[in-house]
Structure formats: C-alpha cells, structure tokens
Amino acid sequence: MAQAGYAVTLIAPHDRDETLDGIAVRAVPVAAGRRERMLRTARQVYRRAREVDADIYHFHDPELILTGVLLKLHGKRVVYDVHEDLPRQILSKWWIAPSVRTATSLAAEGIEWVGARIFDRIVCVTSTIARRFPARKTRLVQNFPVREEFAPVDAPAYQERPAEIIYIGAISRERGIGEMIEAFALLREAVPATFTVAGIFQPSSLQAEVAQLPAWGPVRYFAQQPREQVVQLLAHARAGLVIFYPEPNHIDAQPNKLFEYMAAGIPVVASDFPLWREIIAGTQCGLLVDPLQPRQIADALRWLLEHPAEAEAMGKRGQDAARTRFTWSSEECALLEMYRELSE
C-alpha cells in the first residue's frame, strides 16, 4: 500500500515507535502470553488506532473484531482480513480443551458473521473462506509470493546441490513435524541426506520435546529468518516439504510455503488433499503423499533425490507456474482496487 502511494501506519507489538521503509510503526507492548494478547493488547491496539485517526483500518487478528466494531462506531471504514478459516482452525487448537472446541468454533463463526455485516470489506485468502462472507463486500486476495523476491540468487545448479530437504514456516504437530522427522530418519537409511528446518515452534515447549528425538540430531535448525535468508535457504535445497495433517482448516488452505517452494524452483512433497492435488498434479511440480505415513514421505523424497533430472524439471514447472499464475502481482490489483473503492 505504501508503494501505491498510501500513507501507511502499522500498529503492532514492537519495542518502539519508528519509521521503516516509509511505514510508520506505532508500537504496543509485546504480550507475555495468549490471554494478555487477546485482552490487554487488543485494548492497547484500539487506543493507538484512535490516536492515528486513519481513514481506513485493515486488521487480520480475530481478537481485534471488537476493535473493528468500535472503530466503525466512530465512523471509520474497516476491513477484516481473513487469512485462516477460524471456526475450522479452532477445532484443532491444542490449547482449547476438546470438550469446548465445537462450542467455541460455533461462537467464533457467529462473531465473524456479525462482524461481516458491520465491516466495509472482507478480504479472504481462499475462495473456500470467501464463501462464508457476503459476496457484495468480500474480495479474494490470495497470499502468493512476490516474484521479485525470488530473482536469481548465487546458488549451485540444481543437480549440483547436496541432498538437502527443507521445511520453512510454523512448526507444530498438526503441520507434521513428527512425521517429517521420522521420514527423514527413514530416508537417511538409504541416502545421506540433510534436513533443514526454519521457523518457530508452536507451542514453544514442542522444541524441547522434538529435540529428544534421535533423528533430530543431524537436523539443521534455524529460528524465524528474514525474507532474504529464506530465499537463500531455498536456493540450496533439493525439495520442500508441506506435510499438514488432514484437519478442517488445512484441507482447503493454500500454504504460502507451497508457492514459495515453487517460486524457488524446487519440487514439493505435500499432503494429498484435493485442492493441493489440483495445484501440484496440475502443474506437475511435485509428489503427493499421505501426511500420516512417514514411509510414503521418505519414499517420495528418495525418488526425487535419486532422479535429479526429473526433480529439476518438476521444480522448473512449478517455478513457471509461480511466475505466471501464483504470483502476488495479480493479487495486488484486487487489493488496490478494493482500496480505491473505499477511498471514493
């Protein structure tokens, strides 16, 4: 939005107010835990939002729905950005007791329903999520990579790279960290491969648990990385993993990491969900597996490592698709058009 000429202020947890790349950052204290973030941080965000006195407010955290409603009561234009299927996501939240997940999911859906009738626009990241909201005010803006971020980098040619597998993004049980590590152990019985993992454990206590697994020893682990470093890590890998469990919020999701692997020109090994099959099989850019079967995952990785020419061709097909179909440049137009509508 700043590149398009808008004056942009970002209100977010940070240690100080500052201006970065022309964007004014207005800080709220970093929350000590989930409860504080949902209660105190939401109030602090609202106060800072009133101080800014913007024309349009665009938020994406569900705990800020009430904040959005209050801003509407003050005559502001408000956009709710929905990048997760919240009601379905709640059904697999580890920190919500199983006995109340269904009731909590229904409550969340009701709150979103009310908010959708109040807010000026709803931005959704997938067509499945978009169908839950009023069509007249809902805009589909998919989370595809910025093509320019994946311009050629200084990296070895694909077939000259070591046998390195990579996973980037949030690390959790539901995203298959256990199965990926087990598959890696099986793979190493046949191929001297390496496994790179970059991201943050959710919950943080999971890291200590995973570190006890024998197969974790040779894993190269990086915490959350700057975008430039992510691109460099991908440029040295031979395949990327997206092994999400078949849970309601995952089946129709479009993980950004999938498209980042494609943009980087590496083949993917991914969960065999209908939507993912349409993307991956449709572009012939990788292999599909049962995410709950480490042996299948290991066999798919081994095939890619033992057939480097075919794997490279898969990566190139994915990269071509990422440059032409799954690219932010097409989605940016939809976002800017929505802002033009709100600015009239």
What does the pLDDT read at residue 67? Answer: 96
What does the pLDDT read at residue 255? Answer: 95
Task: Give residue 330's pLDDT band: very low, low, confident or very high (50, 70, 90).
Answer: confident
The pLDDT > 70 percentage for the chain reads 100
Task: Give residue 230's pLDDT band: very low, low, confident or very high (50, 70, 90).
Answer: very high
Query: In this structure, are residues 163 and 238 in contact, taking their beta carbons and an 8 Å threshold?
Result: yes
Task: Give residue 295's pLDDT band: very low, low, confident or very high (50, 70, 90).
Answer: very high
What does the pLDDT read at residue 155? Answer: 82
What does the pLDDT read at residue 310? Answer: 98
What does the pLDDT read at residue 151? Answer: 78
What does the pLDDT read at residue 34? Answer: 77
76 pLDDT exceeds 90? yes
Task: Give residue 93's pLDDT band: very low, low, confident or very high (50, 70, 90).
Answer: confident
Closest C-alpha to 150, from 256, 301, 278, 276? 256
What does the pLDDT read at residue 154? Answer: 79
31 pLDDT exceeds 90? no
Q: What is the pLDDT of residues 131-161, one digit of tens each?
A: 999 999 999 999 999 988 987 777 899 999 9
How many C-beta atoms surround the C-beta of residue 83 within 10 A? Answer: 18
Task: Give residue 92's pLDDT band: very low, low, confident or very high (50, 70, 90).
Answer: confident
103 pLDDT exceeds 80? yes
What does the pLDDT read at residue 18? Answer: 97
Q: What is the pLDDT of residues 149-196, one digit of tens each?
A: 987 777 899 999 999 999 999 999 999 999 999 999 999 999 999 999
Average pLDDT over residues 224-240: 94
- For the chain, where are the alpha helices, taking DSSP H only? 34-36, 42-52, 65-73, 86-90, 98-118, 127-130, 177-188, 205-211, 227-234, 248-251, 256-264, 274-283, 294-306, 308-324, 328-343
Q: Residue 75: phi, psi to the nearest 5?
A: 85, 15
Q: What is the pLDDT of residues 273-284, one digit of tens each?
A: 999 999 999 999
Q: What is the DSSP string of 235-274?
A: TT-SEEEE---S-HHHHT---HHHHHHHHHT--EEEE--H
* Alpha carbon distance 106, 242 (integer Å): 29
How many C-beta atoms surround the C-beta of residue 124 within 10 A? Answer: 21
Task: Give residue 35's pLDDT band: very low, low, confident or very high (50, 70, 90).
Answer: confident
Tell me which DSSP letter residue 121 carries. Answer: E
Average pLDDT over residues 211-239: 94
Domains of the chain: 9-144+328-343 (3.40.50.2000), 147-324 (3.40.50.2000)
What does the pLDDT read at residue 36? Answer: 83
